[in-house]
Amino acid sequence: MNRWVSIQVKFLAVVAVFWSAPILAEVRLPSILGDHMVVQRDRPVSLWGWDDAGAGVTVTLGQASATATADADGRWMVQLPAMAAGGPHTITIEGTSTVTLKDVLVGEVWLCSGQSNMEWTVLRSANPAEEVAAANHPLIRHIKIGRAPTETTQDDAPAGGWQVCSPETAGNFTAVGYYFARHLNGELQVPIGLIGSNWGGTRIEPWTPPVGFQNVPALKEIAENLENLPAKTAEGRVNHQSPLALYNGMIHPLLPFAIRGAIWYQGESNNGEGMLYYEKMKALIHGWRSVWNDPEMPFYYVQLAPYRYKVDPERLPGIWEAQLKTLEVPHTGMAVTVDIGDVTDIHPLNKQDVGKRLALWALAKTYGQSDLVHSGPLYRSLEIEGGRAIISFDHVGGGLVSRDGQSLSHFQIAGDDGQFVEAQAEIVGQTVVVSAESVPQPVAVRFGWHQEAEPNLSNREGLPASPFRTDSW
């Protein structure tokens, strides 16, 4: 009995020591911060995390150092001076514990977002074996944000950590992002960081922050119901397709990590919305620019490729028209893909040219290569002359051509009866002249106005013309 009492006494003594000893805290960082990351050059470097409330935290990067005190919720943040491209650097964070981030580069950081065609990996795209074997680009880094729809904004998101581009890792990178980065890295000779926050099959609304909806009058109904969003499924889970859900869980946790801009490949799940999709694009762009406090943040996106949807074949051209209209938003650019699609596959394998075409916009508009031909022909104006319709274009580059040497395809023309017929089209100087014997008095032209259209008009630089229509019928 005495032995049992003795054991109890010893046990209680151990418990007393345990409860009286201080609980060891430690510095914790969000998933976006880690070894091998790229931070944005020429911008203040914001770093943040959590520690004990009231704990002092010191952050050192090279010769720069900054201190902060964790607030009542334990959150702290520092801002270090902007740096030129280079590295590798080490970042040391000293609080109640010490964290060291190794192999940190300074360069250009891009958010890669959208649905499956952005999430599509190098391994699932064209020439995977050759591309992966050649992916020895240590200055390119990638981090994949995990799928996390949430009801409210989150401070952190699941992620797999930053990976250095190599044959062992590149196969799982976003293919569009990787080929975009590879072209930029080759031209700029600076590190490129890619943040892959994307999810196949998702609509545009869940990626958009509240301020985006609130800025677009056409989306008033969504803006006035934000308190009830995101909705839940019948099983009580957050609906990843409802407005705000993916912004809350997969974009907001990235803030205030500095980025140069965003590339976007999405729209398949909004097919059929026509010009309403333009309003939603405006909301997304304004929303992201607002939360990053960068009103001129570059936003480059991919026009959807032709595909045989089992719906009205003019629904996809409605999305193309909305995407073309979005170019009116300043500091945007659009990669046209009518020549590199597959009408039987909603995920065309050629992601190399998609990434390169996005990079051309970035090089021309963000990085100052103003003499670069970065777009295919885009409709500018219509003139009627002697029973013919004369179409003028922007971005003719070295001149207009038929990509395959055949007669220009997928042009239609109509009179005031609104009945479109197939038309003959020929290149005359910097214009295309369109006509049809059955339409002696034309008033409107359409080009590529069918979901399976793969028209052959391009410029001499090999960049295709975007589908368009001159009417609003």
- The alpha-helical segments, DSSP class H, found in 253-402 are 276-291, 315-325, 352-361
Residues 334 and 432 in one domain: no
Taking the C-alpha atoms of residue 122 and residue 112, their distance in angstroms, rounded to an integer, is: 14
- Residue 178 in contact with residue 165, Cβ under 8 Å? yes
377-416 as b/e, with b when 16 or more CB fall inside 10 Å?
bbbeebeeeeebbbbebebbbeebbbbeeeebbbbbbbbe
The per-residue pLDDT of the chain, averaged, comes to 95
More confident residue, 5 or 225: 225
Taking the C-alpha atoms of residue 295 and residue 297, their distance in angstroms, rounded to an integer, is: 6
Question: pLDDT tens digit string along 253-287?
Answer: 999 999 999 999 999 999 999 999 999 999 999 99
**Cβ contacts of residue 136 below 8 Å, gap of 6+?**
165, 166, 167
pTM of the model: 0.94
- Other beta carbons within 10 angstroms of residue 247's beta carbon come to 27
Question: pLDDT tens digit string along 73-132?
Answer: 999 999 999 999 999 999 999 999 999 999 999 999 999 999 999 999 999 999 999 999
Rounded percentage of the chain residues whose pLDDT exceeds 70:
95
Q: Can you tell me the mean pLDDT for 340-347? A: 98
Residues 265 and 201 in one domain: yes
- The pLDDT assigned to 19 comes to 39
Q: What's at 271, amino acid-wise?
A: N
- Indicate whether 38 belongs to any domain: no
- Indicate whether 421 belongs to any domain: yes
Containing structural domain, residue 421: 378-469
- The pLDDT assigned to 451 comes to 98
**Number of domains the chain is built from:** 2
* pLDDT greater than 60 at residue 11: no
Residues 320 and 217 in one domain: yes
Domain boundary, last residue among 315, 335, 366: 366
- Indicate whether 101 belongs to any domain: no
- Indicate whether 26 belongs to any domain: no
- The pLDDT assigned to 234 comes to 92
Residues 215 and 262 in one domain: yes
- The pLDDT assigned to 52 comes to 97
Helix (H, G, I), strand (E, B) or coil at 145: strand
**Cβ contacts of residue 385 below 8 Å, gap of 6+?**
none
pLDDT tier at 25, thresholds 50, 70, 90: confident
Residues 185 and 323 in one domain: yes
- Indicate whether 416 belongs to any domain: yes
Residues 116 and 165 in one domain: yes
Indicate which CATH number applies to the domain containing 276: 3.40.50.1110
pLDDT tier at 17, thresholds 50, 70, 90: very low
- The pLDDT assigned to 243 comes to 98
